[in-house]
Structure 1
Amino acid sequence: MPKLPVVAIVGRPNVGKSTLFNRLVGKKLALVDDRPGVTRDRREGDAHLIGLDFRVIDTAGYEDQDAQTLPGRMRMQTEAAVAQADVALFLFDARAGIVPLDEEIARWLRQSSTPVILAANKAEGNAGNQGILESLSLGFGDPVQLSAEHGEGLGDLFEVLLPLLEGKEIPDDEEDERLDAPLKLAIVGRPNAGKSTLINRMLGEDRLITGPEAGITRDSIAVDWQWRDPLRGAHGEPRPVKLIDTAGMRKRAKVQDKLEKMSVADGLHAVDFAEVVVLLLDATLGLEAQDLRIADKVLEEGRAMIIALNKWDVAENPSSLFNGVKRALEDGLSQVKGVTVVTVSGATGKGVDQLMSAAFQVREAWSKRVGTGELNRWFERAIEANPPPAPGGKRIKMRYVTQVKTRPPSFVIFGTRVDQLPASYERYLVNSMRKELGFGAVPVRVTMRAPKNPFDQKD
């Protein structure tokens, strides 16, 4: 995974830093209490805000004390957090107004090279209006108005964070996200689809136990492999792959054994780890409802997916079978059209090169970042070709679009009344994006964002 940009929440004690931290990470990781000084050490967590991912640090309340005292050592921890952060989120209590310690923190932050966002917490209602006016004297401009406890104002926070954090993701040393890094490829499917047999054929050795009995594989097994692309010739560099074999996934109602439940859970975790997931079908059985459930899970997790029809060497009426599977996928996976379908044989190895070539191509699409100019030109063409509807006679104004992350490609569209866009128009935009921007059938995430507080239902 990439190293995420870092946001440090700073402020005096008891202004709601830990409450905001818990809100951003989506779980109660930090202790919260009305008493000041509950947080002493830095606490970190992964935050997700309307498609924007970042690392957030909850710091101790900043107190102007001697460095040898406990409050002083806590202050030094806070200073260290700000020094390593990409953004400092300076939180104050709008209801209490600006107090001398807030002014002291502001003086310190102005000397730092870290960009600062001022945020007024507890700003719901009108009780914080005076404090918000007072905060202008701190020199950081208009504050973002929040209620960490009630989750209000997070959309406005997203808007000010986005330009400061966009493009800040850097690859981690251990799991590099460059396209020449090993491809993490998971093979999933129902029991006895031939997953282990196919991987053994790829490796050229009986690395995994196979047999006619369903359910032999229990743990997810990762094996390093080098694939030599035939298109690169005999002297081409082999491409590194981490192959992940998983336990067969039966219908949940049929899974009674505790060990099998654990095996299936382990397989789903392997999907989270993978970049590309191959859903292996038994060509002698065709496509079944359980295959579509597995495919839904893969796409829900945002992974790129390929469908592989195994045992193709013994399939009857192959042309009819292939077309039937394609039609069933179009109907059953309506959220993603055009998923790549390849035919393979784990017994003979036929089709493996085609499968691997498709896997590397789909990873490239899944990792794609579109340039701002190209994205805006597509946006203008899409709206001109099919303007958004006007529900109730009120025009929906689409203003601009930005890509907030890759893997999967994720975008935010800003505009007026975009929350009223019908699902059919959102599908139109996503399908147009896939076709014109080269994403193909990989999952694409699009979030609509109105300029007002998304928690305010008033237009």
Structure 2
Amino acid sequence: MALTIAIIGRPNVGKSTFFNRLVGKRLAIVDDTPGVTRDRREAMGSLGDYKFKIIDTAGLEEGKGKSLSARMWQQTEKAIEEADFSLFMIDARAGITPLDKHFAELLRRGNHPMILVANKAEGRAGEEGLYDAYSLGLGAPVAISAEHGEGLAELIEAFDEMCRELGIDPLSEEEEEVVSFSVAIEGEVSEEEEAESEIDPGLPLQIAIVGRPNVGKSTLVNQILGEERQITGPEAGLTRDTIGVTFDYEGREIRMFDTAGLRRKAKVQEKLEKLSVADTIRALNFAEVVILMVDATMPFERQDLSIASLAVQEGRSVVIALNKYDLIENRQEVLKDIAEKLEHTLPQVKGIPVVPISALTGRGVNKLMPAVFEAYRQWNRRISTSKLNRWLAETTDYHPAPSVSGRRVKMRYITQIKTRPPTFAIFCNRPAAVPDSYQRYLMNELRWDFELPGVPIRLLLRRGDNPYHKK
């Protein structure tokens, strides 16, 4: 097992900035606003020769009952219990606060191994706070600057000492092989290699859960995982960062991303929400299957269609999870309304699967992952060239392309040039003269005849004869 380290401390001391530095990427949203991080975020990080799992946590705040701060503290407690040791971070420039003292005492009583880290210690402004840190009773503080990368050599020494005390030898572990998720797919394929040849079960299936605020995205993640992994509640906009969680489903590794809710662009004014939206769109771009969550108790709004359209434009396969389905009475009418709106608004992806669920009770959730796997299979689908050309001949014989200026448009050859999403190229004599309506006809026939529901299809028209007629 890899070494696991949690970064803890009160709000706005620089935990997420240091998390990003250890990971080597800007994964966590960083802003001057206190309390940006709410859920715990995990990633693989490194420091010197050390490789470890690092957990970024919410700022330590007091809270009781079911308040948001109490729920955030529960998530931090889980991170501390999971970690081999923690980095307790303070702000050297702000000095020691009563909140620092309170949680230092609380954690000291819990006998959790930790290293005291004094952030923002660069220059003389942090000297007084650095000396005051000794009063916390957590040992000598390690002075660092997460923003500028100072003090990391001293932190490595503290890692060495802590690992010796705990009897851990993480440097003896073999490094995991780094696998690229980028797969180039070009060229021809035989009939025997059709359909399943593009799926690599050794790579994690990347899923992004998107939707408007407060539709139940985090609740769904918790329901699938069977634990309170994400903070949930009646408040809208609880999730700010895009949080990735890895789990195993029926022998397949899944990487699922819980994202911040997407409101209409005109309503997004604050800088922090803009950062959250950008983080969500980035997760959508890297996903292979997008689960669009819709609240069944609210009308299927234009924003839902905009999010679905965004996923389709990026070429992602889409599954709609109709949440809170158990709370409505006219269920068939709601399903019919959604199907009609999708049919008229997103005709390029006819047949998007709609799965009624209740994320809170778990009803219908067992049907969601099979729908996701089927959408993923269709997204990776490859159809042999011989089948495609038999289809093209039959389709154009039944409904030929319209003549333009008295000249016929001849569809000569078709091949699938890539998958993810399925992309086809048709060679013809006058590609610029083919009307959009006829292109839609060909795409609809492709989808219907080869059973590709709910998957974006790309159709490219190219000028030329059959490029393989001499072979």
TM-score tier, shorter chain, comes to 0.5 to 0.7
Which residue is equivalent to 1:336? 349
Residues of 2 paired with 1:280 and 1:388: CA distance? 39
Which residue is equivalent to 1:219? 241
Q: Does 1:209 align with 2:209?
A: no
Question: In structure 1, the residue corresponding to 2:355 is in which secondary structure?
Answer: strand
Residues of 2 paired with 1:358 and 1:369: CA distance? 19
Which residues of structure 1 form unaligned runs of 5+? 1-163, 169-175, 229-237, 453-459
Which residue is equivalent to 1:359? 372
Which residue is equivalent to 2:313? 300
Residues of 2 paired with 1:179 and 1:438: CA distance? 22
The structure 1 residue matched to 2:208, chosen from 186, 209, 213, is 186
> Are 1:397 and 1:418, in contact at CA under 8 Å, matched by a contact in 2?
no
The CA deviation string for residues 48-86 of structure 1, in whole angstroms up to 9 with x for no partner, is: xxxxxxxxxxxxxxxxxxxxxxxxxxxxxxxxxxxxxxx
Residues of 1 paired with 2:458 and 2:254: CA distance? 26
Question: In structure 1, the residue corresponding to 2:347 is in which secondary structure?
Answer: coil
Residues of 1 paired with 2:287 and 2:220: CA distance? 17
The structure 2 residue matched to 1:195, chosen from 198, 201, 217, is 217
Residues of 2 paired with 1:392 and 1:167: CA distance? 35
Residues of 2 paired with 1:319 and 1:426: CA distance? 33
Runs of 4 or more consecutive aligned structure 1 residues displaced over 4 Å after TM superposition: none
The CA deviation string for residues 130-165 of structure 1, in whole angstroms up to 9 with x for no partner, is: xxxxxxxxxxxxxxxxxxxxxxxxxxxxxxxxxx96
Q: What is the CA distance between 1:330 and its match in structure 2?
A: 1.3
Residues of 1 paired with 2:409 and 2:299: CA distance? 45
Which residue is equivalent to 1:27? none
The structure 2 residue matched to 1:240, chosen from 235, 247, 253, is 253
Residues of 2 paired with 1:214 and 1:259: CA distance? 15
One-letter code aligned to 2:216 = G
Which residue is equivalent to 1:438? 451
Question: In structure 2, the residue corresponding to 1:393 is in which secondary structure?
Answer: coil
> Are 1:302 and 1:443, in contact at CA under 8 Å, matched by a contact in 2?
yes
> Are 2:186 and 2:417, in contact at CA under 8 Å, matched by a contact in 1?
no
Q: What is the CA distance between 1:245 and its match in structure 2?
A: 0.6
> Are 1:408 and 1:442, in contact at CA under 8 Å, matched by a contact in 2?
yes
Q: What is the CA distance between 1:181 and its match in structure 2?
A: 3.6
Q: What is the CA distance between 1:260 and its match in structure 2?
A: 0.5
Kindly tell me the number of residue pairs found equivalent between the two proteins.
273
Q: What is the CA distance between 1:394 and its match in structure 2?
A: 0.6
One-letter code aligned to 2:452 = F
Which residue is equivalent to 1:43? none
Q: What is the CA distance between 1:286 and its match in structure 2?
A: 2.6
Residues of 2 paired with 1:309 and 1:223: CA distance? 22
> Are 1:372 and 1:402, in contact at CA under 8 Å, matched by a contact in 2?
yes
Q: What is the CA distance between 1:179 and its match in structure 2?
A: 4.5
Which residue is equivalent to 2:6? none
The CA deviation string for residues 82-120 of structure 1, in whole angstroms up to 9 with x for no partner, is: xxxxxxxxxxxxxxxxxxxxxxxxxxxxxxxxxxxxxxx
One-letter code aligned to 2:309 = D
Residues of 2 paired with 1:431 and 1:179: CA distance? 30
> Are 1:284 and 1:316, in contact at CA under 8 Å, matched by a contact in 2?
no
> Are 2:414 and 2:425, in contact at CA under 8 Å, matched by a contact in 1?
yes
Residues of 2 paired with 1:327 and 1:165: CA distance? 36
One-letter code aligned to 1:354 = K
> Are 1:343 and 1:351, in contact at CA under 8 Å, matched by a contact in 2?
yes
Which residue is equivalent to 1:428? 441
Q: TM-score, normalised by structure 2?
A: 0.56
The CA deviation string for residues 378-412 of structure 1, in whole angstroms up to 9 with x for no partner, is: 11111111111101111101110111110011111
Q: How does 1:86-235 map to 2 (within 5 A)?
A: 166=187, 177-179=199-201, 181-228=203-250
Q: What is the CA distance between 1:182 and its match in structure 2?
A: 2.6
> Are 1:398 and 1:418, in contact at CA under 8 Å, matched by a contact in 2?
no
The CA deviation string for residues 365-387 of structure 1, in whole angstroms up to 9 with x for no partner, is: 11011111111111111111111
One-letter code aligned to 1:409 = P
Q: What is the CA distance between 1:167 and its match in structure 2?
A: 5.5
Residues of 2 paired with 1:286 and 1:432: CA distance? 31
Question: In structure 1, the residue corresponding to 2:405 is in which secondary structure?
Answer: helix
Which residue is equivalent to 1:254? 267
Q: What is the CA distance between 1:322 and its match in structure 2?
A: 1.5
Residues of 2 paired with 1:165 and 1:208: CA distance? 40
Q: What is the CA distance between 1:180 and its match in structure 2?
A: 5.8
Greater alpha carbon shift after TM alignment, 322-331 vs 415-424: 322-331
Which residue is equivalent to 2:418? 405
Residues of 1 paired with 2:437 and 2:349: CA distance? 14
Q: Does 1:274 align with 2:296?
A: no
Which residue is equivalent to 1:154? none
Residues of 1 paired with 2:262 and 2:226: CA distance? 25
One-letter code aligned to 2:439 = E
Which residue is equivalent to 1:416? 429
Q: What is the CA distance between 1:358 and its match in structure 2?
A: 0.7
> Are 1:309 and 1:343, in contact at CA under 8 Å, matched by a contact in 2?
yes
Q: What is the CA distance between 1:336 and its match in structure 2?
A: 1.8
Q: What is the CA distance between 1:438 and its match in structure 2?
A: 2.5
One-letter code aligned to 2:253 = P
> Are 1:305 and 1:339, in contact at CA under 8 Å, matched by a contact in 2?
yes
The CA deviation string for residues 279-310 of structure 1, in whole angstroms up to 9 with x for no partner, is: 10011103001001101100000000011110
One-letter code aligned to 2:280 = G
One-letter code aligned to 1:166 = G
The CA deviation string for residues 233-278 of structure 1, in whole angstroms up to 9 with x for no partner, is: xxxxx33221111110000000001110111111111111111101
**Percent of aligned positions with the same letter in both sequences?**
48
> Are 2:443 and 2:459, in contact at CA under 8 Å, matched by a contact in 1?
yes
Provide the alpha-carbon RMSD of the alignment: 1.8
Which residues of structure 2 form unaligned runs of 5+? 1-184, 190-197, 466-471
Which residue is equivalent to 2:194? none
Check 1:225–1:286 CA distance in 2 against 1; reply closer, same or farther (3 A cut): farther
Q: Does 1:374 align with 2:387?
A: yes
